[in-house]
């Protein structure tokens, strides 16, 4: 099964857009230029600004975090993601090469998804697919973030 995570609006995104739109409408009667500018900014924010993430099969709104780690801990992280280990070590930096751990998580719903990339040929190459972590592993990963 291919996991897919999409960008979505959060409640805060909608509130910020709404404030700009309402302020633009209110200021339009005082200063047409500033009011129109704020209204247009609010409308563009509503269309383009999405700070949340959502898994295609889940209803939870997720946050995103990227961690650049040393390649020395690659096996430890990989065993943790595959469920073969209950803990992993995080060595930051690029000693011995770099790996990138991308995590999408929701502390409220106790759910997390992770994907691992390796740094090869001057860019990060996909090493694993997006994996859903079990609840106990998700909790352990969120504690380390």
What confidence score (pLDDT) does residue 2 get?
66
What confidence score (pLDDT) does residue 59 get?
77
Q: What is the DSSP letter of 8?
A: E
What confidence score (pLDDT) does residue 131 get?
85
What confidence score (pLDDT) does residue 71 get?
85
The CA distance from 134 to 102, in Å, is 16
- In this prediction, residue 27 has a pLDDT band, given cuts at 50, 70 and 90, of very high
> Whole-model pTM?
0.80
Output phi, psi for 142, to 5 deg: -65, -30
How many angstroms separate the Cα of 13 from the Cα of each of 21, 29, 32, 38, 113? Answer: 12, 26, 25, 15, 22
Provide the CB-side half-sphere exposure for 7 (13 A, CA): 6
What confidence score (pLDDT) does residue 26 get?
94
The model's pLDDT over 31-49, given as tens digits with 9 standing for 90+, comes to 999 999 999 999 999 999 9
Q: Which residue has the higher pLDDT, 59 or 103?
A: 103
DSSP string, 98-109: EEEEEEEEETTT
Q: Quick one: which of 20, 24, 23, 17 has its CA closest to 51?
A: 17
- In this prediction, residue 72 has a pLDDT band, given cuts at 50, 70 and 90, of confident
What confidence score (pLDDT) does residue 134 get?
80
The model's pLDDT over 91-122, given as tens digits with 9 standing for 90+, comes to 787 777 788 889 898 888 888 888 899 887 78
How many angstroms separate the Cα of 43 from the Cα of each of 27, 36, 48, 51, 100? Answer: 15, 10, 9, 16, 35
The CA distance from 85 to 88, in Å, is 7
């Amino acid at each position: 099964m291919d996991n897919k995570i999409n960008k979505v609006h959060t409640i805060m995104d909608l509130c910020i857009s709404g404030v700009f739109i309402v302020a633009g409408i209110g200021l339009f009667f005082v200063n047409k230029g500033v009011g129109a500018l704020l209204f247009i900014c609010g409308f563009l924010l509503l269309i383009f600004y999405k700070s949340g993430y959502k898994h295609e099969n889940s209803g939870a709104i997720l946050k995103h975090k990227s961690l650049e780690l040393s390649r020395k801990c690659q096996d430890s992280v990989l065993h943790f993601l595959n469920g073969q280990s209950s803990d992993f070590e995080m060595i930051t930096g690029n000693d011995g090469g770099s790996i990138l751990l991308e995590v999408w998580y929701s502390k409220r719903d106790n759910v997390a998804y992770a994907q691992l990339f390796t740094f090869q040929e001057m860019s990060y190459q996909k090493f694993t697919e997006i994996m859903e972590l079990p609840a106990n592993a998700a909790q352990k990963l969120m504690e380390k973030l």
